[in-house]
Amino acid sequence: MTQTDFQTLVSKVLSDDAFAKSLAEHPEQALISAGITPTPEFLDAIKGVDASAIRNLAASLGEEKAAG
């Protein structure tokens, strides 16, 4: 996953609750629909994570990026 893909992912998760839910339920399809090519490692890492946890992680990563 490229840095641009990662930024797109964080932005989309924070701004679109339906996307966050879709990412939790069907990660590969959600990523592809957002124009992101998922890696097998990322798909393994996100498997079983719920939408709330995904939003919390994205918010934390967004805050760290802004502070850095």
pLDDT of residue 66: 54
pLDDT band, very low/low/confident/very high, at 68 (cuts 50, 70, 90): low
Q: Model confidence over 24-61: pLDDT tens digits?
A: 999 999 999 999 999 999 999 888 889 899 889 888 88
pLDDT of residue 3: 86
pLDDT band, very low/low/confident/very high, at 64 (cuts 50, 70, 90): low
Tell me how long the chain is.
68
User: What's phi and psi for 3, nearest 5 deg?
Assistant: -60, -40
Query: Which of 39, 48, 19 lies closest to 11 in space, CA to CA?
Result: 19
The pTM is what?
0.78
Q: Both tokens of residue 14? A: 């924070």
For the chain, domain boundaries: 3-67
All residues at 6 or more sequence positions from 2 whose CB lies less than 8 Å from its CB, including other chains? none
